[in-house]
Structure 1
Amino acid sequence: MVDLHLAAAHIFLACGHTDMRKSIDGLSVRVTQQFRMDPYQSALFLFCGRRRDQIKALLWQEDGFVLLYKRLENGRFPWPNTPADVREITPQQYRWLMEGLALEQPHAVHKIPPKICL
């Protein structure tokens, strides 16, 4: 999938499964009604099908929505299964997800905020 996360300030993952027959209008209604969020904000919204082999991405740009679709030919996305939740993920987690890796990598080096010396 294209690196759309570079064009968005936030990346949100719609946990659970989404009906992949939904188009831009259906997905933006889900963002508005179920998650109480603005689909027109600078955010990439990710949705996954029941079989976890398909992802749709919704992104508002200045003149309209971009809708991308990715279907794996072999394998499944490691998708969270809590249907009512939306979860913000980092650009690194987005890359892991697109590579078929879990959102939480137990052996990844985690960033630590700088210590303030007085």
Structure 2
Amino acid sequence: MFNDATGFKRIFIACGYTDLRRGIDGLAATIKNDFHMDPYEQGNIFLFCGRRTDRMKALVYEGDVAYKRLANGRFQWPRNEVEVKAITTQQYRWLMDGLAIEQKKTIKKVTPSMI
């Protein structure tokens, strides 16, 4: 579920800190009350991270909360905002790989040239 973002229509990341002791109802209430969004909309995933950046929770409307924990390293989670932010599938992959979602520069693809 976490490694592939193709099944999601929209991906949202809750910037800042979230108390990961909260369950499904608590996270849904945060989405509804703080972000003024519908947590039960099909195809959306909402990502939350606590102060320890080696764990995160995701809320997807299938009646579940998913949980991911990194054995080594930390998620590069945006902490400067207290809002929800839409991210692309590429940014989602970067996040799952432990990279920052805002890359300073990208590496251009190199194609071999025929000499």
Q: Deviations over 1:13-32 (max 9, x none)?
A: 00001111011111000000
> How many angstroms does 1:40 deviate by?
0.9
| Bigger mean CA deviation after superposition, 89-98 or 77-86 | 77-86
Structure 1, unaligned runs of 5 or more:
110-118
Matched, 1:26 2:26: yes
Q: Aligned residue for 1:80?
A: 78
Residue identity matched to 1:40 = Y
Q: Aligned residue for 1:46?
A: 47
Structure 2, unaligned runs of 5 or more:
109-115
Q: Aligned residue for 2:94?
A: 96
Residue identity matched to 2:106 = H
Matched, 1:9 2:27: no
Question: Is the 1:34–1:84 Cα contact (8 Å) retained in structure 2?
Answer: no
Question: Is the 2:2–2:96 Cα contact (8 Å) retained in structure 1?
Answer: no
> How many angstroms does 1:108 deviate by?
4.6
Matched, 1:35 2:35: yes
Q: With the length of structure 2 as denominator, give the TM-score of the two structures.
A: 0.84
Q: With the length of structure 1 as denominator, give the TM-score of the two structures.
A: 0.82
How far apart, in 1, do the equivalents of 2:88 and 2:71 lie? Answer: 25
How far apart, in 2, do the equivalents of 1:40 and 1:28 lie? Answer: 8
CA RMSD of aligned residues (A): 1.6
> How many angstroms does 1:104 deviate by?
1.8
Q: Deviations over 1:40-61 (max 9, x none)?
A: 1121000001111111011013
Residue identity matched to 1:24 = I
Q: SS where residue 5 of structure 2 aligns? A: helix
